[in-house]
A and B are shown apart, each in its own frame.
Chain A
Amino acid sequence: MTKPLLLGAVAYAPKVVTIWEGFKEYFRRHDFEFDYILYSNYERQVEAQLDGSIDLAWNSPLAWIRAERMARARGLEARSLAMRDSDRDLCSVLVVRSDSRVTTTADLSALAGQVIGFGALDSPQANLIPRDHLRVQGLLAGRDYTARRFDELSGKHGDHIGGERAAALALMAGEIDAAWMIDGNHVAFAREGILPAGATRIVAHSGSYDHCNFTLISGISAASAEMAARFTELLLAMDWQDAQVRPLLELEGLKAWLPGRSSGYDLLIRAVDDEKFYDAAGNILATDYRY
């Protein structure tokens, strides 16, 4: 048997097993040997990729940054092979109740003394990028506002939206004055009824950033370049019109796979440095980070 291409993915929810079993079947249907290993957190996964346990990693944006730094520190190069259409140009929004005195972050004084809700410590979209956004606006936690973290499933890099949902619930319960969430979740929480229509207002949004990607580190993976190329080719060929494939794409939250790019991570790179999450070699600096 040909040695399969081994992918690492993080088990942030039970559906992850369904997704990768489905992918495995899809690749097998196309005579491509593929298997996967699930990790409980992204830090473990990045380290596993660097020690050669897996050929490829389905990485969060934060994991991509760490993998890229750790690879570079070893004189290697990390590449983003592919990503979802829904991974491109996301943004985070700061939401307040409609009766809030805050109308826009241009009005900095309005946020002074307020309690702002953030997601998990390691969530790019609900903690790192939002904090960076406020910092650039001249607002620092503890000095200008009180940060309240809604930490759920640390190590999952915010993939589990429980933290953002808890912040939204706390916002409506009046426990906090504002909450950060990914743009799509503002609409999703409205649909769930957590944020009643018209009860909240977006007062700020971050710049745009990219989300997950399939990361390959050349020089470590035992898989050949041809295998990585074939994997990407088959992935990009997944067609939304194909009824066998569509359920997998729906579970993974995309309509089409796109070629990977590494140009959409600048905002997060700045946040990682400013928030002192990882150092330049990918070592973890955040002291209160448990995973």
Chain B
Amino acid sequence: MQQATYLLPIIDIENLGLDAGAHLLIKHGLGAIPPGGELRVVGSSPGWETQLAAWCRAQGHGMSMQQQDGRAVATVMRGAADTGRWHDAKHAGHSDAALTGAVADRALSCWGLAARGATVEAGAPDMHFRLDRKDEIWADSAATLYAQAVAAQWNPTTAIDWDEPFELPAAVEDAVAQLMTYLIENEEAALIVPARFLGQVHPHFREIQSLLAIQVADEARHIEVFTRRLRLKGREPALSTAGGQASLKTLLDEPDFSVAGFLLSVLGEGTFVSLLNFLHLHAPDPVTRQIARLAARDEARHVAFGMSHLLWRLQQEPQFRTRLANAVQLRNDALANTAGLNEEVFDALILIAAGEFTPQAIAAGYVRVQQLIADMAAGRQVRLERLGFDKEAAQHLAALHTRNFM
């Protein structure tokens, strides 16, 4: 018996007490032996034996003390409690989404907040996330788009040359203030829609969660720069119409992630990319042009996510295309009694594109805005065709899109 004890592995915690971390050494040693197995522990810190006894009792390990060669030696028998905790534990997929089976078709509520791939103790509380099905939210490109978004973040204070001198005619500056007022309320919708879904996405789909989070941050930045441009020459926000807000409200009211993404990102933000590119080209001042260029780049990423998700969903569920078409029709019906794009915004765009308050400049501005509206519709049609709508249906749906642009 004595000899058998001598053969056991031994851990010397030296003068490290269990009130100073010695349990880590013992735990490590116990990890190498099966439940029921034994190891010896020796130490020299005052009272280490009583500390070890208390620790073993709390951890469910057995312990006895012997004297060997004139020194106190503890024999610790590994209990089953540490392994017992992981009985019936659930594995929540795999951290690398590229691996087969890494992302579950449906995330379990008991996985809760655990990192994908973690071992989750049985009995963890159920956390109910409404968006727990892969087909409802997934896009294979999400991780790549997120990485691009992180790399493309810009600091509004340094990325834009706010101090560059310029002075616009008062009427044109008023038009810029009106346009910024309109852009801000549209970006509010573009912030709130993904933000609302963000809290409903099961953390298992972390790539989607991250992408939505950075999309929300993008929109917060856009709201900031549009507000700063609006106030740059001492203006206050201008007019906000009932029709414009009614159009945006239909986006906020859409409960389905895919449909909301379709209406907001593919149609709305896609249209906004055209608008921002237009401003980048034709805005009368350098600050507005810079803002438009940077915001357009972000919006293009949002469109890419929307497209990527819908292509994925339609691949799983081709009949979902009918639901998308119906959504455009329904939104159009819902907005039939509203004015669409407010006259002030339309006029502001003409003035901005004109750059000055003369008949010749206004004539040129008007043509440019007409071209913009045609470009927007053409862009929507291209994206709809990419989603598998035939040319005629795409043309029809592109035309039904809200006159408010977003």
Contact = CB atoms under 8 A, between A and B. Distances in A.
Contacts of A195: 19
Contacts of B59: 255
Contact of B17 (A182, A198, A240, A256): A198
Interface residues of B, number: 27
A245 to B, nearest CB: 9
Determine the main DSSP class of B at the interface with A. Answer: loop
A203 B17 CA distance: 13
Given A201-B47, A202-B46, A240-B84, A91 B20 contact: no
Interface string A67-98: 00000000000000000011011110100000
A29 to B, nearest CB: 15
B123 A89 contact: no
Given A195-B19, A246-B85, A255 B47 contact: no
A205 B50 contact: yes
A203 B80 CA distance: 32
Contact of B19 (A190, A240, A244): A190
B88 interface: yes
A247 B125 CA distance: 11
Contacts of A88: 57
Given A91-B50, A187-B18, A243 B123 contact: yes
Interface string B66-90: 0000000000000111001101100
Contacts of A202: 46-47, 50-51
B53 A241 contact: no
Contacts of A182: 54
A213 to B, nearest CB: 16
B123 A93 contact: no
A50 B21 CA distance: 46
A186 B122 CA distance: 31
A241 B53 CA distance: 23
Of B19, B54, B58, most A-chain CB atoms within 10 Å: B19
Contacts of B121: 243
A184 B57 contact: yes
Nearest to B20: A197
Given A187-B51, A198-B20, A241 B87 contact: yes
A147 B386 CA distance: 84
A257 to B, nearest CB: 12
B20 A186 contact: no
A183 interface: yes
Interface of B: 17-21, 23, 46-47, 50-51, 53-55, 57-60, 79-81, 84-85, 87-88, 121-123
Given A187-B23, A190-B18, A246-B123, 8 more contacts: A90-B57, A91-B54, A184-B58, A202-B47, A239-B84, A246-B85, A255-B81, A256-B60
Interface of A: 85-86, 88-91, 93, 103-104, 182-184, 186-187, 189-190, 195, 197-198, 200-203, 205, 239-241, 243-244, 246-247, 253, 255-256
19 contacts: A90-B57, A91-B53, A91-B54, A103-B46, A183-B54, A184-B58, A186-B50, A187-B54, A190-B19, A195-B19, A202-B51, A203-B46, A205-B50, A240-B81, A241-B84, A241-B87, A246-B85, A255-B59, A255-B60
Give the 4 A-B CB pairs with smallest separation, nearest first. A202-B47, A243-B123, A190-B19, A255-B60
